[in-house]
Amino acid sequence: MAGPVLEMRSIVKTFPGVKALSDVTLTVRQGEVHAICGENGAGKSTLMKVLSGVHPHGSYEGDILFEGELCKFGDIRASEQRGIVIIHQELALSPYLSLAENIFLGNEHARGGFIDWRETLRHATELLRRVGLDDHPETRVTDIGVGKQQLVEIAKALSKKVKLLILDEPTAALNDEDSGKLLDLILELKNQGITSIIISHKLNEIRRVADSVTIIRDGHSIETLDVKSKETTEERIIAGMVGRDLDHRFPERTAYQGEADAAPALEIRNWTVRHPIDQERKVVDDVSVHVRRGEIVGIAGLMGAGRTELAMSVFGRTYGRYDGGSVLKDGTEIRTKSVAEAVGHGIAYVTEDRKHYGLNLIDTINRNISLTALNKVARRGIVDEHEERQVSEGYRTSMNIKAPTVFEPVGKLSGGNQQKVVLSKWIFAGPDVLILDEPTRGIDVGAKYEIYTVIDQLAAQGKAVVFISSELPELLGMCDRIYTMAAGRLTGEVPRAEATQEVLMRQMTKDKEVSR
Amino acid sequence: MSTDVTAKSPAPVPPGWSEPGDDGGLLQLVLNGLRRNMRQYGMLIALGLIVALFAVWTNGDLLLPRNVSNLVLQNSYILILAIGMMMVIIAGHIDLSVGSLTAFVGAFAAVLTVNHGIPWPVALLLCLAMGAVAGALQGFFIAYLGIPSFIVTLAGMLLFRGLTEILLQGQTIGPFPNGLQNLGNGFLPEVGPHTNYHNITLLLGIVLIAAVVWQEFRDRRRQQEFSLDVLPTRLFLVKLVALGAAILVLTLLLASYKGAPIVLIVLGALVVGYGYVMRNAVFGRHIYAIGGNLPAAKLSGVKDKKVTFYVFLNMGVLAALAGLVVAARLNAASPKAGDGFELEAIASSFIGGASMSGGVGTILGAIIGGLVLGVLNNGMNLLSVGTDWQQVIKGLALLVAVGFDVWNKRKSGS
């Protein structure tokens, strides 16, 4: 086969406090489809951002060679000029502009500052045909489906004379039919000589389109495998993704000795939720799970598996459109149609996105902690400020929140300390069931250990804990039982004794056909 | 260099993070306190500077008892509106309709009392109820139907202006009964022996000082009870003296003229009441929460729609009160009343520390912001600056105040 079109050598990228990429080397040959896979947070997207100039030259270490030349991209435009185009997971189309306008956005066919509509439409039609769309180029983007929008993104890339196309989880939001079309198109473009990098953790897709696959784990490139070779089985790829080393530390946990006959603290039965906009899609599909007092139950799954959607839809229907299922607390059915009801029944949901959904960043630690349970420090609607301050000072000490006083704005704290504030806030609400969504995302190892300890204590106090995480080691280290989800469905339930990363990863990457 | 020695000693503590130990001088303590609360004190200092500047430029006319009394009367209705507007802005919204609504309520009051001879206390209550209905209506569209407040209240602005003209049929209606006039122009009644000062006002001032001192001490004791940190004793005393002196000066100024205007008493009650609500009531906290981060507030169980609804209902009531004060002060309801009041109230809030994105601001801030504009107005009038230049200068003041705020925030890196 042809020689390398792209070489990324020993790329190191650090963010304040976190090393996102420690040492990544990637070689992509001319004209191939190269897959990159790894767990969430392994560094795949960061690597592509380095390549495309989102993280400009100088903000990382290592060299990028494209077509044999050393490249120092200062921004996306620079990489696009060389023919490297990235299509992000979240589509970057302007919904109320037409397909043609979107395709040439920032790159218009214009004469003297005025758009040449004839040439625009002609060229757009041609590009749309190339990606297999026969929609009129003056259709608005919002009037076509997500699958077609993905194709428009590719048409836009083609208009920039793309040589290397990068697709970041292109099928995550697509149904099977649209996914199939998209994968066919990638193969078609390959025939036309366009090299592609596809980030995906759907192993069947990788097997279908990719020539080789590079596995990234914890910011390191582990290995590059030839997909067409007989030895590259799905198990082989999974083994590479999860690795062997468990370098996280967890508090000593005594395994849960539950009374199996007592009703679970929280039970969710046959829960089904549809996507808030795309009502055809079932984001959570007939899921039944339960958790007992004193138990920590994990939910594992990759991006788009429906874990957060499950939790949020149960917690006051804060996500999607409800389409059946019931929630039981201690054996009796309860209503959780609003957050207030859910909280009233002793359920707490600690969000995965603390900045957007968990905290009021411009307000103080004090006021963030008291918000959900203000009535506990208030009499007849009036907050007792002194008592409130005493409560939050208590959490500052017991949770080891590193701030001089509780009057610091939460926005000034580090991620780990912010997470401790969110946890304090929900512990103060006094729930029986805590649903923790990625409670250690984006925080350093030391703070992680502290948070694990808190979770362990909560379970020891008889709280029921649901632990949603993408990091398999922490689920294995903390949970008594682990559910796995894929594409909105429950694909397995593994007790602590039988759980290994390989078992979980296999269930997490199960596709619909397989699970049936 | 000699400073090297100190630079090496324990890790540098970021400004505002150190406990104000008793090692520095008194001035140092005060400065530390100020630095820590730049946002709150910045505008207060600016107000002080503006007052001082105009006092000098007008050869002291600005601070003549009669002028101070006037200043209060002239600005009372904007300050009333600013209280409600601050709450609206903290909740992350805006209300453009309040100017028209004040005119509408003024007209309503005139029709009730002048045309139909309804007793003024009844009319007053009906007017406040009318304000509540108007506010509730707008609040319903904003909170429950999800129409942006800018659009709903822009519609309200046109609608209430039109209704005002319909009610008044293009004419100015007056005069109002005496009882209502007092709301805009009246002073507290005088009793007791003849002194050079207004007795009741003086008494009220002294009571107020006592109440403030008592409250501060009670607060301090409770903090100690909960074993929380308190201000260092010396700084606490400085604060008490400063507060007391400020009240005393204002009291003496007003008492040496006709006494405290009735509307000042109303305004004072509103500031204390709403200040308390915003700081200590669950309702107030929820307003900050939805303005600061709406999704997070929702996920914390805050009933955001209900809170938004009541914030607008409240704005309607306050606008009605302001409308009554304006009408009473002019002693007539005019179709053009309240023109541009919404912008003055909005400007007051932003000068007083509100943020476009919501979640930030205090009632006291809105009052300080309103006073900055009021003193500028009054001072420039005394200096006979034309209204054309007055507009220019007020515009610049808004820009500078908010610019300073943005710069200050960026500097502190939040």
Q: What is the pLDDT of residue A14?
A: 85
Q: Which pair of tokens denotes residue A301? A: 């799954």
Instruction: Pick A464 or A263 by higher pLDDT.
Output: A464
- Enter the DSSP assignment of B317: H
Q: Residue B123 pLDDT > 70, yes or no?
A: yes
Q: What's residue B36's pLDDT?
A: 61
Q: How far apart are alpha carbons B129 and A243 in whole angstroms?
A: 70
pLDDT at res. B226:
72
The beta-carbon neighbor of B228 closest among A361, A382, A389 is A389
The per-residue pLDDT for A260 is 64
User: How many A×B Cβ pairs under 8 Å?
Assistant: 94
B227: closest chain A residue by CA: A390
**Are the Cβ atoms of A362 and B285 closer than 8 angstroms?**
no
**Residue in A with minimal Cα distance to B282:** A381
Report which secondary-structure segment, H or E, holds A197: strand A195-199
**Identity of the residue in B280, B299, B414 whose CB atom sits nearest the CB atom of A385:** B280
Percent of chain A clearing pLDDT 70 (strictly above): 94
Tell me the mean pLDDT in the region B257-283.
92
E strand or H helix that includes residue A455: helix A445-460
pTM: 0.80
Separation in Å, CA B57 to CA A16, B62, B74 = 53, 9, 21
Across A458-481, b (16+ Cβ under 10 Å) vs e yields bbeeebbbbbbbbbbbbbbbbbbb
Contacts of A212 (CB under 8 A, 6+ apart): A29, A32, A34, A35, A224, A225, A226, A227
How far apart, in whole angstroms, are the C-alpha atoms of residue B183 and residue A401?
Answer: 52
Other CB atoms within 10 A of residue A511 CB = 16
The answer to whether A383 contacts B360, with C-beta atoms less than 8 Å apart, is: no
Higher local confidence (pLDDT), A82 or A174? A82
B132 pLDDT above the threshold of 60: yes
B293: chain A residues, CB-CB within 8 Å: 356, 359-362
What is the number of other CB atoms lying within 10 angstroms of the CB of residue A405? 17
Which residues 225-254 on chain B approach chain A with CB closer than 8 angstroms?
225-229
Give pLDDT, residue A63: 92
Residues 282-311 of B with CB under 8 A from A: 282-283, 285-286, 288-289, 292-293, 295-303
Give the span between the Cα atoms of B323 and B146, in whole angstroms: 28
Any idea how long chain B is? 414
The C-alpha angle with vertex B13 and arms to B7 and B16, in degrees rounded to 5, equals 135
Of the candidates B289, B327, B288, B88, the residue with the CA atom closest to the CA atom of residue B185 = B327
How confident is residue B20, by pLDDT bands cut at 50, 70 and 90?
A: very low
Q: Closest Cα of chain A to B402: distance in Å?
A: 17
Closest partner residue to A393 (CB to CB) among B228, B279, B281 is B228
Of A342, A360, A390, the CB nearest to B359: A360
Burial class (CB in 10 A: 0-12, 13-18, 19+), B48: exposed
User: Per-residue confidence at A102, pLDDT binned at 50, 70, 90?
Assistant: very high
DSSP A493: E
Tell me the three-class secondary structure of B53-114, residue by residue.
HHHHHCCCHHHCHHHHHHHHHHHHHHHHHHHHHHHHHHCCCCCCCHHHHHHHHHHHHHHHHH
- Phi, psi at B352, each rounded to 5°: -80, 10
Average pLDDT along chain A: 87
DSSP state of B24: S
> In sequence order, which residues have a C-beta less than 8 Å from that of residue A487 and are 6 or more positions away?
A285, A304, A305, A306, A511, A512
Res. A513: pLDDT tops 60: no
Which residues of chain B lie closer than 8 angstroms to A343, CB-CB? Answer: 301
Q: Which of A382, A389, A412 sits opposite B281 (nearest CB)?
A: A382
Is residue A271 scored above 50 in pLDDT? yes
In angstroms, what separates the C-alpha of A331 from chain B's closest C-alpha? 24
Residue B318 tokens read as 């306050």
Query: Are the beta carbons of A360 and B279 separated by less than 8 Å?
Result: no
Mean pLDDT (whole number) for A464-473: 90
CB contact under 8 A, B285 and A383: yes
Half-sphere exposure of residue A220: CA atoms within 13 angstroms, side-chain side: 7
Q: How near does any CA of chain B get to the CA of A43, in Å? A: 28
Residues in chain A: 516
Record: contact B281-A381, CB cut-off 8 A: yes
Q: What is the pLDDT at residue A37?
A: 87
pLDDT the model gives residue B243: 86
Among the ranges given (A217-226, A283-292, B144-153), the one the predictor scored with the smallest mean pLDDT: A217-226
Residues A178-207 pLDDT 10s: 888 899 999 999 999 999 999 987 788 888
Write out chain A residues lying below 8 Å of B297, CB-based: 360, 371
Q: How do residues B60-102 score in pLDDT, each as one tens digit?
A: 899 898 899 889 899 999 999 999 999 999 999 999 999 999 9
Q: How far apart are CA B414 and CA B411, in angstroms?
A: 8
Q: What is the pLDDT of residues A470-488, one digit of tens each?
A: 888 889 989 999 999 988 9
Give per-residue pLDDT as tens, A67-95. 989 999 998 889 998 999 998 877 788 88
pLDDT class of B38 with cuts at 50, 70, 90: low
Chain A residue with the nearest C-alpha to that of B290: A360
* Confidence at residue A511, expressed as pLDDT on a 0 to 100 scale: 63
What is the pLDDT at residue B34? 65
Q: What percent of chain B has pLDDT over 90?
A: 59
pLDDT given for residue A36 in this prediction: 93
Which range (A160-169, A269-278, B221-230, B292-301) has the least confidence? B221-230
pLDDT at position B411 is 64
- CA dihedral B16→B17→B20→B24, nearest 10 degrees, is -70
Using pLDDT thresholds of 50, 70 and 90, give the confidence band for residue B4. very low
Residue A512 pLDDT greater than 60, yes or no: no
A384 phi and psi, to 5 degrees? -85, 100
Residue A514: pLDDT band by 50, 70, 90 thresholds?
A: very low
Note whether A381 contacts B225, CB cutoff 8 Å.
no
Lowest mean pLDDT among A303-317, A501-515, B29-43, B233-247: B29-43
Report whether pLDDT(B22) > 60: no
The answer to whether the Cβ–Cβ distance between A386 and B225 falls below 8 Å is: yes
- Average pLDDT on B265-277 reads 93
B40 falls in which pLDDT band (50, 70, 90)?
A: low
Quick one: tokens of A373?
Answer: 């349970």
Query: CB-CB: which of A356, A360, A385 is closest to B289?
Result: A360
**Tens digit of each residue's pLDDT (9 = 90 or more) over B359-387:** 999 999 999 999 999 999 999 999 999 98
For B333, the 3-state DSSP assignment is strand
Question: For A383, which of B280, B298, B300 is closest by C-beta distance?
Answer: B280
Question: Could you read off the pLDDT of A346-378 as tens digits, one per residue?
Answer: 999 999 888 889 999 999 999 999 999 999 999
| Cα-Cα-Cα-Cα dihedral sign, residues A337, A343, A346, A349 | positive
* Cβ contact, residue pair B282, A383, below 8 Å: yes
User: In the sheet where A164-168 sits, what is the strand order?
Assistant: A69-70, A61-66, A4-15, A18-29, A220-226, A212-217, A33-37, A195-199, A164-168, A84-87
Q: Which residue has the higher pLDDT, A26 or B18?
A: A26
pLDDT-above-90 percentage for chain A = 49
Test A382 with B222 for CB contact under 8 angstroms: no
Contacts of A13 (CB under 8 A, 6+ apart): A19, A20, A21, A43, A46, A47, A50, A55, A59, A60, A61
Lowest-confidence pick of A47-56, A228-237, A411-420: A228-237
CA distances from B207 to A19, B203, B269, B367 (A): 63, 6, 14, 22
Q: Which of A308, A382, A408, A436 should be substituted to probe chain B, the one whose Cβ sees the most B Cβ atoms within 10 Å?
A: A382
Region B278-291 average pLDDT: 93
pLDDT of residue B396: 92
B280–A contact, CB cutoff 8 A = yes
Question: What pLDDT was estimated at residue B2?
Answer: 38
